[in-house]
Structure 1
Amino acid sequence: MYQQIITTKDSTLYFGGMEELSSLWRKLRREYLYQEAYDAFFFIGKDSENLTLQYYIINSLEQQGKLKEAIVKIDTVLKGKLPANQKEYFIQYKQDVTKELENK
């Protein structure tokens, strides 16, 4: 869906780029609307390799306490082709979520 959003003929008229999605993310987080954030970003980014969208999906799961699902999603991201710094970030993120799960 993300590709469709950014590549249609009229996309520049209605979509302002990742800045708009980041703004939406911040607003949903500020109101603790993590299920709504998950629903929106999963719909938009489920087939996308955009790491920002994947992070929003994972963090939404984590904040809802769906830690096992978050870890599975992190593993999916780690199987993709990532720059070294992003790979390190997601490895550390997985370790943090795993510790959180173990402490539950």
Structure 2
Amino acid sequence: MGSLSMAKCPCGFSQKVKVGGTMRDFLKYSTFPFYCSSCGVVDVNVATEGVHECPKCQSQDIIQYGDDRVSIPTQFNQSLQWGNYNCGQKDHLCPSCKQQTLSFNLYMMID
């Protein structure tokens, strides 16, 4: 079961992100939010093995939210999870203002 979350920042940035997949296709297509320096927050297919790439510009220079390079590590603040991919609810790099003020909040579950 997957979910939709809202990525929001006090600067005004907001975007829906998809985490996981549906029962029908999760083995071939399951997503998790990554940061792309060119495209911002993107939903990357993590169901495939190997190197992941930005679905918009095909760059491989992307960083998973939850990684210390784009997220401030916090304990007991898990918000998004899919398999081995996870990140906390707050303190992530905003693609708009470039501050560590982006948060992810559950919007709805999908199946």
Q: Per the shorter chain, which TM-score range?
A: under 0.3
Higher relative contact order, chain-length normalized (CA < 8 Å, sep 6+)? 2
Larger Rg: 1
TM-score normalised by L of structure 1: 0.25
Q: Which has the higher helix share?
A: 1
